[in-house]
Amino acid sequence: MKVPEPFGARLRRAMDERGPLCVGIDPHASLLADWGLNDDVAGLARFTRTVVEALGEQVAVFKPQSAFFERFGSRGIAVLETAVTEARERGALVLMDAKRGDIGSTMGAYADTYLDPRSPLFSDAVTVSPYLGFGSLRPALDAAVLNGCGVFVLALTSNPEGAEVQRAVREDGRTLAATMLGHLADENAGAEPLGSFGAVVGATLGDLSSFDLAVNGPLLAPGIGAQGATPADLPTVFGDAVRNVVPSVSRGVLRHGPDASALRAAAVRFAEEVRTAVA
* Category of 253 on φ-ψ map: left (φ > 0), alpha (ψ -120 to 50) or beta: alpha
Other CB atoms within a 10 A radius of the CB of residue 28 amount to 17
Candidate list 28, 49, 88, 99, residue with the active-site label: 99
pLDDT exceeds 80 at position 1: no
pLDDT exceeds 90 at position 279: no
* DSSP collapsed to 3 states, the chain: CCCCCCHHHHHHHHHHHHCCCEEEECCCHHHHHHCCCCCCHHHHHHHHHHHHHHHCCCCCEEEEECHHHHCCHHHHHHHHHHHHHHHHHCCCEEEEEEEECCCHHHHHHHHHHHHCCCCCCCCCEEEECCCCCHHHHHHHHHHHHHHCCEEEEEEECCCHHHHHHHCCECCCCCEHHHHHHHHHHHHHCCCCCCCCEEEEECCCCCCCCCCCCCCCCCEEEEEECCCCECHHHHHHHHHHHHHHEEEEECHHHHCCCCCHHHHHHHHHHHHHHHHHHHC
* CB crowding 247-271: b at 16 or more within 10 Å, else e: bbbbbbbbebbbeeeebbebbbebb
Task: For residue range 50-85, list pLDDT tens digits in order.
Answer: 999 999 999 999 999 999 999 999 999 999 999 999
Task: For residue range 26-59, list pLDDT tens digits in order.
Answer: 999 999 999 999 999 999 999 999 999 999 999 9
Task: For residue range 231-270, list pLDDT tens digits in order.
Answer: 999 999 999 999 999 999 999 999 999 999 999 999 999 9
- Known catalytic residue at 99: yes
For 175-184, what is the mean pLDDT?
Answer: 98
Beta bridge partners of 125: 95, 150
Q: Which domains does the chain have, with CATH numbers?
A: 5-276 (3.20.20.70)
At residue 244, what is the residue type?
N
* Category of 191 on φ-ψ map: left (φ > 0), alpha (ψ -120 to 50) or beta: beta
At residue 206, what is the residue type?
G
Q: What is the pTM of this model?
A: 0.97
